[in-house]
Structure 1
Amino acid sequence: MTDGGGALAIVLHTHLPYVEGFDTWPFGEEWLWEAAATCYLPLVDLLDRRPDARALTLSVTPVLADQLVAPGVADRFRTFLDDTREDVYAREVDGFRANGHEAEARSLLALLGVYRAARGAADGDDLAGGLLRHASWTSSATHAVLPLIATPEALAVQLDVGTRGHRARTGRWDGGLWLPECAYAPALDAALAEAGVRTACVDLTDLLGHGDERHLRPWATGAGTTLLPIDRALMDLVWSDGAMPAAPAYRDTHRRTTFHLQPWSNDGAAWDPDRARRRAREDAAAFVRAAVTRTAGGGLATVALDTEFLGHWWLEGLWWLEAVLDEAAAQGLRLVHADHAAAAARARGVERLPAEARTTSTWGTPRDLTTWSGPRVAAIAWETRALELDVVAAGAAATERAWRELLAAGSSDWAFLRTRGTAGDYPDRRFAGHAEALRRELRGPGTLEPRLRGLAPGVARSPGPSSGPPR
């Protein structure tokens, strides 16, 4: 429950695996450029313009921040916008016009405007500053699935590097932490509390039941961390098969041109930004009406979305989000920052998580650990654990580079992409590369330079089995 009746918390989870410097297209650092142009910079613009957007809870993973501040990134991003994007759009526009398809040409010019606006905002050498200015939540160092980590030492490193990195870059942290993949298990309770984690999101849908009223209240772990259950009853309106982004007016992300551009709407017509924006406002109004109804009896509905879903995958998603701010004011829906909602709940007293929910859960498909440890990725899961045990057993002999390679290999993204089969052999190559580099470094400490591009600068030297996290 929240003070003053029902409320809605929107948590935006901002994350990409470490792709900077690791291949370009179709899989690699162009993911970073696309996300920055279509999502991160437009989102910063929204957050800067709208005082009421301060009620949104923004999480930025340390591994994403590591990439955005890496040397040369801003210059390569601008080159991508100035050269690659301008070139391919010009080619496609000319092609459509030569074949008499003026509507598609106009659609592409409107879409090119997104990249040109990003170019205007991409001054200086720091692409992360705007996001981090608004980011109140962090995550583990490289988005590892925390319940799959085998040792206290490796778990402490993931949490310590993540939280200290956020503090170093933002100068603040009130204890909000995104559990990667919403993966929670009671065995994490003590480590989360020791790391200073005060608030996190969990997905208890299959444990408490879809639409259960118990999703509308915070719960406490055995060590006192406040858990906010995400509310699938509302989230599914936006983020599920056949949800709002499938509406006819929105851009079709499946049909592509020769250069993989997307100038069509879901109904096959040329994409029309005015038509799409009208639909975004309609969907925002419907979403807020649903949220008002859902919280009519009080309580806190928490909706968590991948930030990249808004703008990058669902092009019109940021229009929808801004319209949600408008509609919340118009319909009397109270938007609340997750930290504020959790603090208010703690002041009143938060009950212990229900017994049936004191087990492992994720927001995967299914909502367990299968996506990251099932048959399709068993080799990755077992090898990650073996590497972790080797690094921890090495104690003080494990170098900074060894720990960085372990952090890189432990990213949840490699198993996720392998399970989904959406990135070819890229996740297999990336995992294998980090695993091999780690073995080399353990065999001959100092063989590799300490740095791994811009990843995890907070790692110094590994702890011994009885010491604290690396400093």
Structure 2
Amino acid sequence: FSISPPLAEMLADQMLSSRYLSHLDRLIALAEHEVSARQGSPFFDAAVLYRDHFRYCRSVVRDIWGGNILHAFRSLDEQGVIELMTCAGTHPVMPLVSEESNIRAHLELSQRNFHKHFGRPSRGLWMPECAYREETSEAPALDSYFSEKGFGFTFIETHGIMYGEPRPCFGVYRPVYGPYGTAFFGRDVETSHQVWSRQQGYPGDGLYREFYRDLGYDGEYDAVRPALHDDGVRRNVGIKYFRITGPDADLGMKEPYLPAPARSKASEHAGNFMFNRQKQAEYLASILGAPPLIVAMYDAELFGHWWFEGPAFLEYLFLKMHYDQDDVKPVTPSAFLDANPEHQILRPATSTWGAGGYFETWVNGDTDWIYRHVHTAERRMKNLANRFDSPDPFTRRALNQAARELVLMQSSDWPFLITTGTAKPYAVKRLREHIHNFTRLHDDLLYGRVDERFLAWLEEKNHIFMDEMDFTLFRG
């Protein structure tokens, strides 16, 4: 289970936790109103579900974990129920980072952040966007940096293994070791499509909740207004009364969402998924001559956000795997490697996940303008780090903030949002802000004119890695 450093910082942030709990209070009040208003209607059961769900969320976050849900993840990790791991820094597409010192800095910041929140180094590394670069005449293989920072394994898209050299003896159904000792787990395509795809997979079932019909838009304005932002603009509030109904059903023709049948369908799908894994494992074992390892990789946002019943599906799946069969067992990466230390050595191929499988989501005609700015900033940050050998405390603050602006600029979220069009103006705005902030700090540092008020404002606004950041990590 990968928790990126930005996510960890946000989940641990007291201001965001306070805002979240206040938001839950407003949602609970709205849901209680809805329960009263929907009595006798087809939407009553859903209204009760939302009221109870929001109350449960508040109880878990506030009363059990004291406002910091990271404590729950740490507890499960320490019990061995799950294995937590980090991802690189601010989630940059690492093969697109032009300076080696920048790559090392992201990996070091990741380990520092992970240790701060979870009390141990991360053995695993989630490569952002599963983006991997094989060795070239101009740059070393990406995994050459991993062992330096204590990472023992990572995950890669299917064709990163299948197109590797030499050919993988077991396909993606056993991990492989790269030339530098990192274990690579390859994604299984079948499990991905069966769960992720709305067209071919479970989430598109007609009984499941429709994401695009929301009370924030459908409800009476005066009723939903307290749950909206201060600007009063209608937005999704998370109370959705309609189900998918069918693949071609117009949004205006959706039928009422019924929680009980939807949950039963999630149980049915969990059973089907488990049955398919049993048959898949049986078939693969007969071909490979060894028990297969099936790696099912998903974005966490699928479960609960896009697919509301996804968490119920997972709950039923693990219950069924435990009680109903003995053929397929869940296992953490470290546990599997510890029990099975010998694997094929292979040079993985350059690859990403996402559309096309080769960086197209992040490098295209809409996003190519980004990288001339980012690469210039990467070179300038290295030069700053090399230039200032023993800065005074104030200059060190400015150098560390310049590094923060750079790593925020490098996030893969910005080109992704631009390419998909889901939040293009916001992504462009954030990119321009970080480019401007870095450039101003860079120039002010060179000319000895850093403005303390501007620096303090940036430190308050963009304060990721306040404990971990050290500009000397960017020396090269």
Could you say which residue in structure 2 is the equivalent of 1:181?
Answer: 129
AA in 2 matched with 1:66: E
2:377 pairs, out of 387, 402, 407, with: 387
Cα pair distance change 1:312/1:120, threshold 3 Å: same
Query: Which stretch has the larger CA shift, 419-428 or 391-400?
Result: 391-400
Specify every segment of 5 or more residues in structure 1 that has no aligned partner in the other structure, as ranges: 1-57
Q: Distance in 1 between matches of 2:349 and 2:372?
A: 22
Find the counterpart in structure 2 of residue 126 from structure 1.
Answer: 68
Q: Which amino acid aligns with 1:143?
A: H
Q: Tell me by how many angstroms 1:338 deviates.
A: 1.4
Q: Does 1:237 align with 2:194?
A: yes
Q: Which amino acid aligns with 2:45?
A: R
1:273 CA displacement: 1.5
Question: Cα distance, 1:424 vs. partner?
Answer: 4.3
SS at match of 1:331: coil
The residue that corresponds to 2:292 in the other structure is 299
The answer for the alignment partner of 1:289 in structure 2 is 275
Task: Choose 1 or 2 for highest CA Rg.
Answer: 2
Q: In 2 relative to 1, CA 255–191 (structure 1 residues): closer, same or farther, beyond 3 Å?
A: same
TM-score, structure 2 length as denominator? 0.78
Please state how far the C-alpha of 1:239 moved relative to its aligned partner.
Answer: 0.6
Give the SS at the match of 1:102: coil
Q: 2:195, 2:202 within 8 Å by CA — same for their partners in 1?
A: yes
Return closer, same or farther for 1:340/1:314 CA change in 2, 3 Å cut-off.
same
State the shift of 1:438 in Å.
1.1
Q: Is the 8 A contact 2:35 2:47 kept in 1?
A: yes
* Structure 1 residue 359: Cα displacement: 2.5
Q: Tell me the residue number matched to 2:180.
A: 223
Matches for 1:38-53 after TM superposition, within 5 Å:
none
How do 1:355-374 residues align onto structure 2 when only pairs under 5 Å count?
A: 358-374=348-364
RMSD: 2.4
Query: Percent identical across equivalent pairs?
Result: 25
Q: TM-score, normalised by structure 1?
A: 0.79
**Separation in 1 of the partners of 2:374 and 2:38?**
48
Map of 1:331 onto structure 2: 325
Report what 2:228 is aligned to: none
Q: Tell me how far apart the structure 2 counterparts of residues 82 and 368 of structure 1 sit (CA, whole Å).
A: 44
**2: CA distance, partners of 1:465 / 1:72:** 30
* Residue correspondence of structure 1 range 67-466 to structure 2 within 5 A: 67-83=10-26, 85-86=27-28, 88-89=30-31, 102-123=41-62, 124-133=66-75, 134=77, 136-186=84-134, 187-205=141-159, 208=162, 214-242=171-199, 243-257=201-215, 258=217, 260=236, 261-267=239-245, 268-296=254-282, 297=285, 298-329=291-322, 330-332=324-326, 333-345=328-340, 347=341, 349-353=342-346, 358-396=348-386, 397=388, 399-445=399-445, 446-447=450-451, 448-449=455-456, 450=459, 452-463=461-472
Tell me how far apart the structure 1 counterparts of residues 292 and 425 of structure 2 sit (CA, whole Å). Answer: 45
Q: Determine the C-alpha separation between the residues in 1 that align with 2:204 and 2:43.
A: 20
Deviation at 1:89, TM superposition (A): 4.1
Give the aligned residue type for 1:340: A
* Matching residue's letter, 2:127: L
Q: Once the two structures are superposed, what CA deviation does each residue of 1:123-176 show, in whole Å capped at 9, x if it has no partner?
A: 224232212333521111111111111111110111000012111221123511
Q: Give the Cα–Cα distance (whole angstroms) in 2 for the partners of residues 430 and 94 of structure 1.
A: 42
Distance 1:289 1:439 in 2: 56
- Residue 105 of structure 1 and its aligned partner are, at CA, apart by 4.1
Aligned equivalents of 2:418, 2:334: Cα separation in 1: 34
Q: Which stretch of the first structure deviates more once superposed, 308-317 or 445-454?
A: 445-454
Instruction: Please name the residue that 1:53 is paired with.
Output: none
Gaps of 5+ in 2: 78-82, 135-140, 164-168, 218-234, 246-253, 286-290, 389-397
Contact 1:255/1:264 (CA < 8 Å) preserved in 2?
yes
Mean CA deviation greater in 218-227 or 381-390: 381-390
Return closer, same or farther for 1:174/1:422 CA change in 2, 3 Å cut-off. closer
Q: What are the within-5 Å matches in structure 2 for residues 3-42 of structure 1? A: none
- The one of 64, 69, 78 aligned to 2:7: 64
Stretch moving more, 178-187 or 165-174 = 165-174
Residue matched to 2:394 = none
CA, structure 1 residues 437+93, in 2 after alignment: closer, same or farther (shift >3 Å)? farther
Query: Residues 288 and 331 of structure 1 are in contact (CA less than 8 Å); yes or no, is this contact kept in structure 2?
Result: no
Greater RCO, CA 8 A, separation 6+:
1
Structure 1 window deviating more from structure 2 (387-396 vs 58-67): it is 387-396
Higher strand residue share? 1
Q: 1:402–1:438: 8 Å Cα contact kept in structure 2?
A: yes
SS at match of 2:123: coil
